[in-house]
Amino acid sequence: MKKRQKVRLGILFFTFLLFPAIFYYFSPYLIIDASVRGIINGSFVVFALLFTSSLILGRAFCGWLCPAGGCQEMMIPIRNRQIHKGNWIKWFLWVPWILAIGFATVKAGGYRQIDFFYQTSHGLSISNLYSWVTYFFVLLLIVLPAFLIGRRSFCHHLCWMAPFMIVGRTVRNVGRWPALKLTAKSDVCTHCRTCTAHCPMSLPVEEMVNSEKMEHHECILCGTCVDGCNAKAIRYSL
């Protein structure tokens, strides 16, 4: 394993260890609860930052920093099955959720204050038995699909954060300003299929290399294909 991938997995493992303390800042429920009261909470800010960062970094957060991603990548040796269907499911969940946030905001008469630490205890998510139960429920929601279905199933099917970054990346692709991306040289590809076999998001990487079209809405820019290619057919670029 290349050093960069060791660093990436180390960062993901660290953020996963932090997850009990910070999971409220990724909460899809608390943003609605706060919006009803006219409050911009921590998860609102985080989701806004994910969208903003995706305008330059795409879904790199998913590949390098996401605690849920780290948890799922630890599951790959246990359930190393590729996933090629069902990406639409998260949109089926995300759109009504966004509408609920909008409805809650309108009902509250708009946002009137910012409370980044809303419903936390001194900034920490875990403070009592109820929060521990909530955490383990969220953890089960992430781990169970990865165990039953395959690689990063939660990312493909249930994640409420990924669409923010997919929308942001789509905006960038329309604007065509410089951003982190993958590029490929098909003429040096040896067709070993290592890139496709090892992609944590189960993407058809070899096909993407052959067409030299590396843009994919489910690509998390983790660099596994970059570091796994002995022919150096894939690289990061801006």
pLDDT tens-digit map of 203-227: 999 999 999 999 999 999 999 999 9
pLDDT at 2: 87
Q: Could you tell me the two tokens for 66?
A: 């996401």
Residues 6+ apart with CB under 8 A from 154: 68, 72, 141, 142, 145, 146
Q: What is the CATH number of domain 180-238?
A: 3.30.70.20
* pLDDT band with cut points at 50, 70 and 90 for residue 149: very high
What digits encode the pLDDT tens for the residues 24-46?
Answer: 999 999 999 999 999 999 999 99
pLDDT at 105: 97
What digits encode the pLDDT tens for the residues 84-143?
Answer: 999 999 999 999 999 999 999 999 999 999 999 999 998 999 989 999 999 999 999 999
* pLDDT band with cut points at 50, 70 and 90 for residue 47: very high
Q: How many CB atoms lie within 10 A of CB 41?
A: 26
Kindly calculate the radius of gyration of the chain based on its CA atoms and give it in whole angstroms.
19
Enumerate the β-bridge partners of residue 40.
114
Nearest to 192 by CA among 237, 134, 234, 137: 234
Rounded to whole angstroms, how far apart are CA atoms 229 and 234?
A: 7
CB 139 within 8 A of CB 68: no
In the chain, what are the domain boundaries?
Answer: 3-177, 180-238
Q: Could you tell me the two tokens for 231?
A: 């022919």
Q: How many CB atoms lie within 10 A of CB 7?
A: 11
